[in-house]
Amino acid sequence: MANLAAKRPLILEIKGNSLDDGPGIRSVVFFKGCPLACVWCHNPESRNPAAELAFDPPKCVDCGECRKICPDRALSRNHPEYVARSKCRLCFLCTDVCPSGALERVGRTMTAAEVLAEVLPDQPFFDVSGGGITLSGGEPTLYMDFASELLRMARRHGLHALLETCGCFDLPRFMDLLYPHLDAIYYDLKIMESAAHKAFCGLPNERIIDNFKALLTAARRDGKLLLPRTPLVPGITDGEANLRAVAAFLSGLGVNQAALLAYNPLWHEKSRKLGIDDPLKGDPAMSAFGDGARLERGRAIYREMGIDPTG
Ligand code: SF4
Ligand code: SF4
- Residue 5: the pLDDT is 57
The closest alpha carbon to 18, from 29, 33, 31, belongs to 29
- Residue 266: the pLDDT is 85
Whole-angstrom distance, CA of residue 212 vs CA of residue 198 = 18
Residue 1 has pLDDT above 60, yes or no: no
User: Mean of the pLDDT values across residues 285-304?
Assistant: 87
C-beta separation of 71 from 96 below 8 A: no
- Residue 103: the pLDDT is 98
C-beta separation of 264 from 258 below 8 A: no
Q: Where are the alpha helices (DSSP H) in the chain?
A: 65-69, 93-97, 112-119, 123-129, 144-156, 171-177, 194-201, 206-222, 240-252, 267-274, 284-287, 292-304
Residue identifier of the C-alpha nearest atom 3 of ligand 2: 60
Instruction: Give the Cα-Cα-Cα angle 200, 201, 204 (nearest 5 degrees).
Output: 105
Can you state the angle between helices 240-252 and 292-304, rounded to 10 degrees?
Answer: 40
The closest alpha carbon to 201, from 210, 192, 213, belongs to 192
Number of separate helices (H) and strands (E) present in the chain:
12, 11
Give the pLDDT confidence of 239-282 residue by residue, as tens digits: 999 999 999 999 999 999 999 999 888 888 888 899 988 778 77
Residue 237 has pLDDT above 90, yes or no: yes
Is 236 close to ligand 2, i.e. is its CB under 6 Å away? no
Give the pLDDT confidence of 186-229 residue by residue, as tens digits: 999 999 999 999 999 999 999 999 999 999 999 999 999 999 99
- Go through the chain and tell me how many residues it has: 311
pLDDT-based confidence at 42, cuts 50/70/90? confident
Pocket test for ligand 2, best of 55, 62, 69, 94 (most atoms within 8 A of CB): 62
Which residues are registered as beta bridge partners of 136?
A: 30
C-beta separation of 299 from 310 below 8 A: no
Q: Work out which ligand 2 atom sits closest to the CA atom of 75.
A: 6
- Residue 3: the pLDDT is 61
For residue 52, the ligand closest to its alpha carbon is 1
C-beta separation of 184 from 162 below 8 A: yes
User: Mean of the pLDDT values across residues 63-78?
Assistant: 97
Give the pLDDT confidence of 90-140 residue by residue, as tens digits: 999 999 999 999 999 999 999 999 999 999 999 999 999 999 999 999 999
DSSP class of residue 9?
A: P
Domain map (residue ranges) of the chain: 10-49+109-310, 52-106
Whole-number Å distance, alpha carbon 91 to ligand 1 midpoint, is 5
257-261, strands of its sheet edge to edge: 108-109, 10-18, 26-31, 132-136, 160-165, 184-188, 225-231, 257-261, 308-310
**Which residue type does 227 have?**
L
pLDDT-based confidence at 291, cuts 50/70/90? confident
CATH label, 10-49+109-310, candidates 3.40.50.300, 3.30.465.10, 3.20.20.70, 3.50.50.60: 3.20.20.70
Q: Work out which ligand 2 atom sits closest to the CA atom of 101.
A: 2
Which residues are registered as beta bridge partners of 26?
A: 18, 132
Share of the chain above pLDDT 90, in %: 85
- Residue 6: the pLDDT is 59
Whole-number Å distance, alpha carbon 89 to ligand 1 midpoint, is 6
**Mean pLDDT across the chain, nearest whole number?**
94
- Topology given in CATH for the domain delimited by 52-106: Alpha-Beta Plaits (3.30.70)
For residue 72, the ligand closest to its alpha carbon is 1
